[in-house]
Amino acid sequence: MTQMTHAEALEQARRIVAQMTLDEKIGQLNYTAPAIERLGIPEYNYWNEALHGVARAGVATVFPQAIGMAAMFDDAELKRVAETIAEEGRAKYNEYAAHGDRDIYKGLTYWSPNVNIFRDPRWGRGQETYGEDPYLTSRLGVAFIRGLQGDGRYLKLAATAKHFAVHSGPEAKRHEFDATASAKDMAETYLPAFKAAVEEADVECVMTAYNSTNGQPCSVNDDLLHRHLYGRWGFEGHVVSDFMALEDVHENHHYTKDAAETMAAAIKAGLDLCAGRCSGATKEAIERGLVSEDEVTHAVEALFATRVRLGMFAQDCEYDHIGYERNDSAAHRAFNRALAPKTFVLLKNNGILPLDKSKLDAISVTGPNADSVQAILGNYFGRPSHKSTILEGIERACGDDVRVYSGLGCSLFGTHAESGLSRENERESEAVINAEHSDVIIAVMGLDSTIEGEQGDAGNSMGAGDKANLSLPGRQRHLLERLLEVGKPVVVLLASGSALSLDGLEDHPNLAALMQVWYPGGQGGDAVADVLFGKAAPSGKLPVTFYRDCDGMPDFEDYSMKGRTYKYMEGEALYPFGYGLTYSTTAIGDLSVDLNHDARTANVSLTVENTGKRDEREVVQVYVKNLDSPLAPRNWQLAGFRPVELAVGERTQVTLPVDPDAFKVYDENGEQIVDGDRFEIYAGVSQPDARSVELLGFAPRSRTVEF
């Protein structure tokens, strides 16, 4: 079925808007658009969230946080997630609308995905993104948008690429901060995912960021909106501000004098929808000659074109019949549980995992995230109807076969675990006693959205949602030291949305295994237990670099990419981007590269073999390094990836097309050019860096090619 075009929708939208008075049109510029009863137009609220499930709208399937799903390195699987979210979003909308409930979080325009680049591990909202690499982010963003919007006659949901652009902290300063980035860094790092969202996924909406970019607030930024979004990329949807970002333009950036000037500047720049409270100043802006009624009309037409494409004014919308029973279904929960292990990144394993229950009498499960619901949900979440904390999942898996001792151990970030009347280590002795009576110690540590997240969220109690360093907060490290001293094997599970460091304890001989489980979603606890006891296996790869510490890291406010991420870093990572172990072992070989010299493209073929004793899921990765151009990134760059399922002993050939952009560079003006003919191509299951080779025990295959 051919999807309704923008031109077709705009034609119908124009007929609707032509019937409105000026005051009615101005009313439609706000995200809480009022009803126009005389025209049969119901009220509509544009604000919905769906980073990893329908959020803030009651019960829904809560998938692992976005950063965890990025660790799958699997655009097809992420598209399935988005399709599931779209199914649930429509099911909920149909019922809410039938009951006349058109409140916030109950519409069809979803402000997801977040395709900003996670350039600095201190940023609290990095958990919402797909990591630090623009190529990975682009591929995953396109897949998620396509999954949300569907391929029917009408859009299933309208997706939003946010936050446009150059936005990644610090959270405390986002309302007045000016992110300064070179034209090269803009084109090479900060803009590709937005470009792909528009040109490849036809994203229906783009949300502007709070900050300024290169001296101009993003909501009124001519370079971002006029030159790039509408100009170079040919965007045809609508643009919305982040919540209260337009107020920031005059109140915090002091770029305009008042709300009327802001609304005029925004509309002229191409912004259509005010998520805030200053859209009412539009009439004053018209009266002062700052903006014309025709320009206002154009903005409203763009908004109604989206509503038309969603089938809101149609009698034949194929999604109107999606029933409420499709929300949070048993099938969706099962999919979620099966998906979560693909997001877990096994960072260390001395062979203890998976645990053999038949050889265990007792285990201890301790740590502030062990029995925490918050630690499975992340931020921007719905309410799972069948949820399991990590402790609950382990207890269910053990049943009566293995005794499970449990205890808090310490608080997440405070000095006292429970009572201010006690000593600071009030729960540590219980954790140690439990450990002494166990065969294996499982320590569940890390962060949650009360520490990392968005500035202004009720739970962000530290650093406005950002973190000051990569260490475990509070007394967590001290607790871990005590547990390691017991002499039993310790398995550490890290629940967080960003890189953490154990400050050297990673190498402790009693730390038998370390696994990053992110915020694993509604079925996260059961999924973690599935992996611990071998019912499932971890197969994620890091979508961000895990640094050893923040020493020598560029200033958080510095948006230059020099020294940042795996592409430009100069030191050695603790755990590199693209790294992750499985429960099996892998061998690679027989690399071949087929070049198309005229088109400057390549196909890379690699044989991959499962040489271990378990079926496995591996992720083949291709990296390219330009050997000639001084304009190329300092290191190599990801240019292709594909997960592959391998039975025990299975050997298969994987062929990947290399992203053509990997054979080009960006000059200092941000223009993409051909510069250099010699390239090193690496293919394997990791980066070619020395640390990855050390951790895995083998290097990717490589081949030097010349066009």
pLDDT of 159 > 90? The answer is yes
List the single range of 345-359, 414-428, 545-559, 631-645 with lowest mean pLDDT. 414-428
* Domain's final residue, options 490, 520, 544: 544
Q: Say how far apart CA 254 and CA 248 lie, in whole Å.
A: 8
With 0-12 / 13-18 / 19 or more C-beta atoms within 10 angstroms meaning exposed / middle / buried, residue 667 is middle
Domain region containing 421: 339-544
Residue 462 has pLDDT above 80, yes or no: no
| Predicted pLDDT of residue 420 | 78
pLDDT at position 457 is 72
| Residues listed for the chain | 707
Asked, for residue 557, whether it belongs to a domain, the answer is no
What pLDDT is attached to residue 567? 98
With residue 231 as reference, give the H or E element that holds it: none
Same domain, 219 and 349: no
pLDDT over 90 at 423, yes or no: no
- State the pLDDT at residue 657: 97
Judge if 353 and 303 occupy the same domain.
Answer: no
Q: Is residue 451 part of a domain?
A: yes
**287 inside domain:** yes
Domain boundary among 520, 544, 568: 544
- Alpha-carbon separation of residue 515 from 253, 377, 662 (angstroms): 42, 18, 31
Q: Is 204 in the same domain as 113?
A: yes
Q: pLDDT-derived band of residue 455, with 50, 70 and 90 as boundaries? A: confident
Q: Do both 529 and 590 map to the same domain?
A: no
pLDDT greater than 80 at residue 1: no
Which CA distances in Å does 276 have to 86, 169, 244?
26, 21, 4
Is residue 154 a part of any domain in this protein? Answer: yes
**Predicted pLDDT of residue 460:** 64
Q: Is the pLDDT of residue 673 over 90?
A: yes
Q: What is the pLDDT of residue 691?
A: 98
Q: Note the pLDDT tens digit of each residue in 240-251.
A: 999 999 999 999
pLDDT score at 459: 60
Q: Are residues 286 and 395 in the same domain?
A: no
Into how many domains does the chain fold? 3
Same domain, 257 and 364: no
Q: 277 and 189, same structural domain?
A: yes
Tell me the average pLDDT across 608-630: 98
Residue 315 lies in a domain: yes
Average pLDDT for residues 620-635, to the nearest whole number? 98
Q: Are residues 615 and 657 in the same domain?
A: yes
Q: Look at residue 526 and tell me if it is in a domain.
A: yes
| Single residue among 486, 510, 544 that ends a domain in this structure | 544
In a domain, 241, yes or no: yes
User: Within this chain, do residues 73 and 128 fall inside the same structural domain, yes or no?
Assistant: yes
Is residue 242 annotated as part of the catalytic site, yes or no? yes
The predicted-structure confidence for 262-320, as pLDDT tens digits, reads as follows: 999 999 999 999 999 999 999 999 999 999 999 999 999 999 999 999 999 999 999 99
CA distances for 82 relative to 50, 135, 415, angstroms? 9, 19, 40
**57-100 confidence digits (pLDDT tens):** 999 999 999 999 999 999 999 999 999 999 999 999 999 999 99
403 and 268 part of one domain: no
**For residue 670, what is the domain's CATH number?**
2.60.40.10
E runs forming strands in 6-123: 32-33, 44-45
CA distances from 186 to 166, 213, 294, 546, 666 (A): 8, 10, 33, 24, 10
Higher pLDDT, 418 or 39: 39
pLDDT > 60? residue 678? yes
Question: Which candidate in 223, 242, 328, 448 is catalytic?
Answer: 242
* pLDDT tens digits, 503-557: 999 999 999 999 999 999 999 999 999 999 999 999 999 999 999 999 989 999 9
Q: Tell me the pLDDT band of 416, cut-offs 50, 70 and 90.
A: confident
Q: Are residues 318 and 352 in the same domain?
A: no
pLDDT of 461: 59
The reply to whether 370 and 254 lie within a common domain is no
CATH of the domain at 269: 3.20.20.300
Q: What is the DSSP letter of 41?
A: B
List the beta bridge partners of residue 592: 605
pLDDT in tens, 210-221: 999 999 999 999
What's the CATH number where 389 sits? 3.40.50.1700
- Considering the domain boundaries, does residue 566 fall inside one? no
